[in-house]
Amino acid sequence: HGVVTWVGEDAAGRALHPGARVTDLRGAFVAPGFVDAHVHLSATGLHLQGSTLGAPSKAASLEALRTHAAATDGVVVARGWDPERWGGAVPTVADLENAAPGRHVYAARIDEHSAQASSALRATVPRLATLDGYHPELPLTGAAHDAVRVAAQDALSDAQITEAQRAALDAAAADGIVAVHECSGPEIAGARDFALLAELGHPVHIRRYWGEAVRSAADAADLLDRTGADGLAGDLFVDGSFGSHTALLHAPYADADTCGTAHLDQDAVTAHVLACTEARIQAGFHAIGDAAVARVVTALAAAVERFGVPRVAACGHRIEHAEMVTPEQAESLGAWGVQASMQPGFDELWGGEHGMYATRLGAQRAATLNDFALLARNAVPLAFSSDSPVTPLGGWAVVRAATTHHTRGSAVSPRAAFAAVTRGAWRAGGVRDGVAGTLVPGAPASFAVWEVGDLVVRAPSDAVQRWSTDPRAGVAPLPDLSDGAPLPRCLRTVVAGTTVYEAG
């Protein structure tokens, strides 16, 4: 009935359950199902359906856009262009016009915090040229980007949105993911998309976050009621991203004369945390740069002062991304039970001495980013995720990225990383029963079956978590996730006892 009833030796299990159906997995590996704690389902689905600009060159990406546009009716949504892969180049308005003449085209950067828009799409946004982040030919950022994104979403039909959401959830199930946290909001996917997702009825569990600031407990309760959201958290933007020069910094970028973009001031951030804490609603923010993280920590401190630590911890407030956290801030976050929802794939893509982070911030600041070990040492609950479509869905890839950090001393062990995409991610989504994300009697029977090579017990030399490799210690091994080792292949995904994916 959807619950684990026995884990142990065959003989005892068969004696206790003589009528049970037996499935021989022929040596496959069974593990708790993954939870992706930060996704954007419609954007992911559209990306999976072929709207990609992620080719190694600008010319190849624009040719792919031309092909996709020719096969697509209505608005053309494309994603994934990255100047780091294109030798610094970016798509221009003229590029989009050449690839899809006269069409409404929205082409998002890989980090989803800036985008190029065709002339036809730009023309649908009144007073676009007056908004912050506007440029007549180059990609749009800030308020200008938000406006064209909303215009592109409004041009999608209900059927297109639902089809994209279902495609994303099907892909999640095919990779052993049993639950996702949708991070939406007015400028992200919009109220219509959010409502359609609530009606979808997919077997993968969906926790829906709505990122809109409130100023009172009554406002928080009313917004939660109107949207049907599970929390007023997720991508409530305090700032933007490093790649788009919009993450909010105390000191200017190394390669641009700006400190980034502030979407919420300190007063608004504090008001939201206080309102949600009073209403006992989970709050959270998108905060990447050090100045953005500082605003969130200051707001949480105000809530602790007014309501006390137990009340704040009981709400399970979240920080999404949390890329620049100081040791002092980590200590406070751990003491207050605030959860860090982070994306190891970001360091894999953009870390290292020659990566985008170092270009944007300089080597010294870049080396402080995404310090998973710092947060773990300070007992900050970790939930790892993909932020799909920014990085692809895939739990094992997330685990491997968390253990192979570019900065020595910032990685965590494979078992700590695995916990952050299973138990930790369930906890970040408000499930605190002590068994979700495990395979023990009484736990939900949500698991995946994997084709694997070697199973190993390994801790990187600089990992925060250690354990004995002596088999007598009873430490369960994990698949070999070292560089060059093939990632496990999902054979079956089961949610609450029901198979939702089975490999052909």
pLDDT of residue 458: 65
Among 122, 154, 186, the domain boundary falls at 154
Is residue 450 within 8 A of residue 8, CB to CB? The reply is no
Can you give the residue range of the structural domain that contains 126?
A: 43-154
Q: Is residue 444 part of a domain?
A: no
Residue by residue, pLDDT tens for the chain (504 residues) are 899 999 988 899 999 999 988 899 999 999 999 999 999 999 999 989 876 788 899 999 999 999 989 988 888 999 889 998 898 999 999 999 999 999 999 999 998 889 999 999 999 999 999 999 999 999 999 899 989 988 998 899 999 999 999 999 999 999 999 999 999 999 888 999 999 999 999 999 999 999 999 999 999 999 999 999 999 999 999 999 999 999 999 999 999 999 999 999 999 999 999 999 999 999 999 999 999 999 999 999 999 999 999 999 999 999 999 999 999 999 999 999 999 999 999 999 999 999 999 999 999 999 999 999 999 999 999 999 999 999 999 999 999 999 999 999 999 999 999 999 999 999 999 999 999 999 999 999 999 999 998 888 765 555 444 444 444 445 678 998 988 889 999 999 999 999 999 997
pLDDT at 473: 47
User: What pLDDT is stored for residue 212 in this prediction?
Assistant: 97
Cβ(449)–Cβ(28) under 8 Å?
yes
Do residue 377 and residue 229 come from a single domain?
yes
Pairing mode, strands 205-210 and 284-287: unpaired
pTM of the model: 0.91
pLDDT of res. 8: 87
Whether the CB-CB separation of 412 and 376 falls below 8 Å is answered with: yes
Q: Which residues of 223-261 are buried (b: 16+ CB within 10 A; e: fewer)?
A: bbeebebbbbbbbbbbbbbbbbbbbbbeeebeeeeebbb
Asked, for residue 400, whether it belongs to a domain, the answer is yes
Q: Which residues of 88-107 are buried (b: 16+ CB within 10 A; e: fewer)?
A: eebbbbebbeebbeebbbbb
Number of independent structural domains in the chain: 2
Tell me the CATH number at 72: 3.10.310.70
Single-letter code of the amino acid located at 168:
A
Q: What is the length of the chain?
A: 504
> Residue 12 CB: number of other CB atoms within 10 A?
10
Q: Going along 82-173, which residue ranges are E strands?
A: 105-109, 115-117
The answer to whether residue 19 is domain-embedded is no
Please give the pLDDT value at position 113: 86
Specify whether 107 is located in the same domain as 225.
Answer: no
Q: What is the pLDDT of residue 459?
A: 57
Tell whether 252 and 365 lie within a shared domain.
Answer: yes
Q: Which CATH number do you get for residue 355?
A: 3.20.20.140
